[in-house]
A = this chain, B = another copy of it.
Amino acid sequence: MATTSTTAKSQTLMVFEAVRGDILDVRMEPGSRLHVGSLVERFGVSQSAVREALSRLVADGLALALNQKGFRVAPVSIDDLHDLTEARIEMEVVALRRSLEKGDAAWEARVLAAYHELSRSTPVAVEKLHGTMLLWGVLHRRFHNALASAAGSDWLERFREVMFDQSERYRKLSVSHPTGPRDVDAEHRALMQAALERDVDRMHQLVAAHFRATAEIVTEAMQSRASAVK
């Protein structure tokens, strides 16, 4: 996974990225406690480094800091998922409208290339393997980023990224849930075509359907899980 790169990163950054990955990939149960001592042992660093990393996760909305009661993984809920999804649709449309207005030939090339790579990565709709799932996630992100890449706003990009991360976390909650028939590739192809045709209204429809379809599946998974456990 996201390990250290060429330059020597600070201990804080290392822990930050590792725990962040654990939370986003749902290797840590939402709402569960983040024991400082355990992380100190696991990463072989001091408490300071761990606490600083956790503090940054708090501000990012991935962890909670309860007064005198330590840190917890940010919880999930169906209400939050719904709110997140609808807000994300609005935000995405804002970025896409701009991108479709300002996108040049290079942008079109980026969109085409990203779609091509994404569609090739799921050749026979077999994504059960852990490795290929991760790869697909990266290409999926790249495709959606390509669509919005001509918007040219650091602020919109930043918020989009936060919401994408959160959405991915919810999506991973439902990986083992039995899913109905869905042609995700067709959805992406339609998005690509509408983008190249600069059809903002169609784009809005497609994005809303695309995001809501995923949210629907996750909601079902959460409901069935809630009634099964405890």
Contacts and interface: CB of A to CB of B under 8 A. Distances in A.
A9 B48 CA distance: 19
Interface in A47-62: 48, 51-53, 55-61
16 contacts: A5-B67, A12-B55, A13-B67, A48-B48, A52-B55, A55-B56, A56-B59, A58-B59, A59-B60, A61-B158, A83-B155, A84-B155, A90-B156, A91-B91, A91-B159, A159-B159
A57 B58 CA distance: 10
B153 A68 contact: no
Given A10-B68, A48-B48, A48-B51, A154 B56 contact: no
Contacts of A56: 55-56, 58-59
Contacts of A84: 155
A154 B61 CA distance: 12
A7 B153 CA distance: 41
A158 B68 CA distance: 25
A213 interface: no
A34 to B, nearest CB: 14
Interface of A: 5, 7, 9-10, 12-13, 48, 51-53, 55-61, 67-68, 80, 83-84, 86-88, 90-91, 94, 153-156, 158-159, 163
A148 to B, nearest CB: 13
A87 B60 CA distance: 20
A87 B163 contact: no
Closest A-B pairs by Cβ, 8 of them: A59-B59, A87-B155, A55-B55, A56-B59, A52-B55, A90-B94, A59-B60, A55-B56
Q: Of residues A13, A84, A159, which shows the largest number of chain B Cβ atoms within 10 Å of its Cβ? A: A159
Contacts of A12: 55
A138 B88 CA distance: 29
Contacts of A159: 91, 159
A228 to B, nearest CB: 28
Most chain B CB within 10 A, of A9, A67, A90, A156, is at: A90
A64 B53 CA distance: 14
